[in-house]
Amino acid sequence: MNKIVVSRKVNYFQQDVAELEQASLRVQSIYEKAARMVKQYFSPAAAEKLEATVLSQRSYFQKWIHTSKGWKFIGSEYQNEQAEARPPLADLKTDTSIGESTAVSTKRGGTFASLILQAFIWSQYEEIQLFHPFLGDESFYTGEEMDVIAAYFVPTYLTERPLYESGIQYRRRDYGVTIFQEDVPAPSVVFDSEWGTMEGKLMTGVYVSGLQFKGLGPYLKNMSGNRIYMQAAVQ
């Protein structure tokens, strides 16, 4: 993945920053809870890869989209150990800038494992919703966790049938195992920069490390799939 960094800031309202800070940590906590359960059913090698997706000591880059229905979480990546050295994420948060995207390497992993976890979490969510009258207080997720999944997670499956039958537009991700996820529309953005005219979909990255919020990293995803990183500021 090519990396382009431009000197442009994306403004966020304070309430959006506060919501993403809280939501990103709750999402990561649900990821860890689900991973501990799922890895029991994988081979040791596969379980190790899955667990790497949610290790608390890793630095994570969660991908969020702001929609007409609010913020939606679509996936996560983690920093590979072999990536080049970079400044601590704790240094990236200031009063006016939240997350300097230039400081984070694009050598990331865990996208596939993240989507597998999302499919598992969404499947659990739907089953708990269906059988809630019989489960009572014995469901895997708490009421608060169910609310977080309902508010922020995107329907994700290992088959396209539920999305197709519901008339929901979806995207197909093939990693050997095919994963189907609701296609959440991201805002389209066009602007001029030192690299020329930039056009693409506006995404918001959220940095999480050690179960702590470390800042925002907005980026544009262009038609070629490349990321154009920008800076975040509070207004």
Q: What is the DSSP letter of 89?
A: G
E runs forming strands in the chain: 3-12, 59-67, 70-79, 108-109, 156-157, 170-174, 178-182, 188-193, 196-209, 212-221, 227-234
pLDDT digits (tens, 9 = 90+) for 136-195: 667 789 999 999 999 999 999 999 999 999 999 999 998 888 999 999 999 999 888 877
Q: Are strands 59-67 and 196-209 parallel, antiparallel or unpaired?
A: antiparallel
Q: How far is CA 204 from the centre of its chain?
A: 9
Beta-carbon contacts of 74 under 8 Å, excluding residues fewer than 6 positions away, are 63, 64, 65, 154, 181, 184
Q: What is the pLDDT of residues 38-93, one digit of tens each?
A: 777 666 666 666 665 555 557 899 999 999 999 999 999 986 544 433 333 333 33
The residue to which tokens 């608060």 are assigned: 144
Say how many Å lie between the first and final Cα of the chain, rounded. 31
What's the pTM?
A: 0.82
CA dihedral 6→8→14→16, nearest 10 degrees, is: -50
Tokens encoding 192: 């001029």
Give the DSSP letter of residue 107.
-
> What local confidence, expressed as pLDDT, does residue 127 receive?
92
Q: What does the alpha-carbon distance between residue 152 and residue 26 come to, in Å, rounded to a whole number?
A: 10
Q: What is the mean pLDDT of residues 113-135?
A: 87
Q: How many helices (H) and strands (E) does the chain have?
A: 5, 11
Surface-to-core class of residue 20, CB atoms within 10 Å of its CB (0-12 exposed, 13-18 middle, 19+ buried):
buried
